[in-house]
Amino acid sequence: MSSNTHFYNARQQRHNEREKIIYHNDYNGLCKLSSLIGSDPWQVQGAGGNTSIKTDGLMWIKASGTWLANANTSELFVPVELDPLLDALKADDQRAEKSTDFVRESLNPHSLRPSIETSVHAVLPQKVVVHIHCVDTIALAVQTQAEQLFEKVLKDFQWLWVPYHRPGLPLSRYISAHLEADTNVVVLGNHGLVVAADSVQEAADLLERVRAAVKQPDRSYPAFKSDALTALCNNTQYRPSNCVDTHAVAMDDIALTVAAGGSMYPDHVIFLGSGTQVVSPYVSIAEIVSQLESEPSSIVVPGSGVIMHKDANASQHAMARCLSDVCLRIDSQASVRYLNDDEEYQLLNWEAESYRQSIAT
Ligand SMILES: [Zn+2]
């Protein structure tokens, strides 16, 4: 047998084994749901959010840095051995952080790495877990009164409030310690939403009900000033954002004040950096940028709109829009809890996030 034939046979066998495991359960349904929520910027932005399904001792979890939106067209899910991972979590074994040691590599042909939120999915006992960065949830979850606000809207749900913890082990440890037997909705402070159920259909239904319950009104705002932005960008590395919704943060005074206060959730820090760069519409962008340590991927120009660095990637564009979507849903009375320096430092100096950032581009 030639080495090519041997290679082909081995690959075919692995493919068949993978198909056998994933097709007799809800795997296809999960791909469909993942692709739907991943295509909705109000639920998932760029490489954010993740979904999983537990079956035959394995948990299939979205790969780090991949986009849920592509779940129907590419293989995004990595099989992780569930019991060994849970044992590692119980034993405080640091290998649970990356979870790479628990991947069943024979079923992982593209050597994908499991999501940084794998341990959060593992500690929830339900078969299907969906985690999203829903903008309505975030708009409430970044407020200092978040827990009380959610108590009002989620009184009909078995839900758990989780104050901000760094994604990964710190977050899963807290959830695991506070989970009750019937908890199937988890609200993550300064972060997002998790729902869990025993089938994809139930998870989808629960997600829809929770999203309806947490829905926040958004404000309308004046159109951005295309000509003024274009003039500001002249002879710079910047261009006006080509997404109409991204400009809202510059056009709505309340949104602008909220955004200028700091970073509110992890993916903002990971993809756009610490805080938001707000500049006067009367200054030269080239001059402003020359005084900064590095060129920000997005800059907010109050009363005119948002400009993006010409090298900004799709995740950065998605997060710039997310900022507007979140800020438009926070009202003027709200007191916002921003991520502190230490929390930002932990995100920016975490190898798992650097990896995700590099893949997401
Ligand atoms: Zn998340």
Strand pairing category for 298-301 and 77-81:
unpaired
Give me the pLDDT at residue 253, please: 97
Burial label, 286 (beta-carbon count in 10 A; 0-12, 13-18, 19+) = middle
CA 11 to chain CA centroid, nearest Å: 32
Q: Are residues 149 and 242 in the same domain?
A: no
Give the whole-angstrom CA distance, residue 246 versus residue 236. 20
46 Cβ neighbours under 8 A, 6+ residues apart:
67, 267, 271, 314, 315, 316, 317, 318, 319, 360
Q: Are residues 19 and 123 in the same domain?
A: yes
Determine which helix (DSSP H) or strand (DSSP E) holds 320, and give its type and residue range: helix 314-327
What is the distance in A from the centroid of ligand 1 to the CA of 106? 28
Q: Are residues 118 and 79 in the same domain?
A: yes
Question: 325 vs 34, 139, 220, CA distance in Å?
Answer: 21, 9, 11
**Tally of structural domains, the chain:** 2
Domain interval for residue 19: 3-214
Does 219 fall in a domain? no
Written as six digits, the tokens of 206 are: 């629960």
What is the distance in A from the centroid of ligand 1 to the CA of 37? 14
Q: Are residues 149 and 244 in the same domain?
A: no
Q: Are residues 103 and 251 in the same domain?
A: no
What is the distance in A from the centroid of ligand 1 to the CA of 47? 10
What is the distance in A from the centroid of ligand 1 to the CA of 223? 31
What is the distance in A from the centroid of ligand 1 to the CA of 116? 9
What is the distance in A from the centroid of ligand 1 to the CA of 357? 14
Give the whole-angstrom CA distance, residue 224 versus residue 305. 5
CA triple 116-39-358, angle to 5 deg: 40
Give the whole-angstrom CA distance, residue 262 versus residue 254. 14
What is the distance in A from the centroid of ligand 1 to the CA of 284? 36
What is the distance in A from the centroid of ligand 1 to the CA of 194? 9
Give me the pLDDT at residue 359, please: 67
Q: Count CA atoms closer than 13 A to 225's CA, side-chain side.
A: 14
What is the distance in A from the centroid of ligand 1 to the CA of 191? 6
What is the distance in A from the centroid of ligand 1 to the CA of 265? 9
Does 54 fall in a domain? yes
Q: Are residues 260 and 127 in the same domain?
A: no
Give the whole-angstrom CA distance, residue 106 versus residue 6. 16
Q: What is the pTM of this model?
A: 0.91
Which CATH number do you get for residue 75? Answer: 3.40.225.10
What is the distance in A from the centroid of ligand 1 to the CA of 339? 15
Q: Are residues 298 and 198 in the same domain?
A: no
Q: What is the pLDDT along the chain (361 residues), one digit of tens a residue?
A: 555 666 666 666 666 666 665 555 688 899 999 999 999 999 999 999 999 999 989 999 999 999 999 998 988 999 999 999 999 999 999 999 899 999 999 999 889 999 999 999 999 999 999 999 999 999 999 999 999 999 999 999 999 999 999 999 999 999 999 999 999 999 999 999 999 999 999 999 999 999 999 999 999 999 999 999 999 999 999 999 999 999 999 999 999 999 999 999 999 999 999 999 999 888 888 888 888 888 999 999 999 999 999 999 999 999 999 999 999 999 999 999 999 999 999 999 877 666 766 766 5
Tens digits of residue pLDDT in 156-167:
999 999 999 999
Give the whole-angstrom CA distance, residue 199 versus residue 168. 24
DSSP string, 19-30: HHHHHTTTHHHH
What is the distance in A from the centroid of ligand 1 to the CA of 192? 6
What is the distance in A from the centroid of ligand 1 to the CA of 167? 7
Helix then strand then coil, in percent of the chain rounded to 5, is 45, 15, 40
CA 85 to chain CA centroid, nearest Å: 22
Question: 123 vs 54, 144, 199, CA distance in Å?
Answer: 11, 27, 17
Identify the domain boundary among 214, 239, 256.
214
Q: Are residues 256 and 205 in the same domain?
A: no
What is the distance in A from the centroid of ligand 1 to the CA of 108? 23
What is the distance in A from the centroid of ligand 1 to the CA of 100? 18
60-92 burial by CB neighbour count: b if 16+ within 10 A, else e?
bbbbbbbbbbebbeebbbbbbbbebbbebbeee
What is the distance in A from the centroid of ligand 1 to the CA of 193? 8
What is the distance in A from the centroid of ligand 1 to the CA of 111? 22
* 3-class secondary structure, 194: strand
Q: Are residues 201 and 291 in the same domain?
A: no
Q: Are residues 194 and 85 in the same domain?
A: yes
For the chain, where are the E strands, in sequence order? 50-55, 58-62, 77-81, 128-132, 159-162, 185-188, 192-197, 238-240, 277-278, 298-301, 305-309
Determine which helix (DSSP H) or strand (DSSP E) holds 202, and give its type and residue range: helix 200-214
DSSP string, 97-109: HH-GGGB-GGG-T
Of 245, 264, 248, nearest in space to 256 by CA: 248
Written as six digits, the tokens of 216 are: 């926040």
Give me the pLDDT at residue 286, please: 86
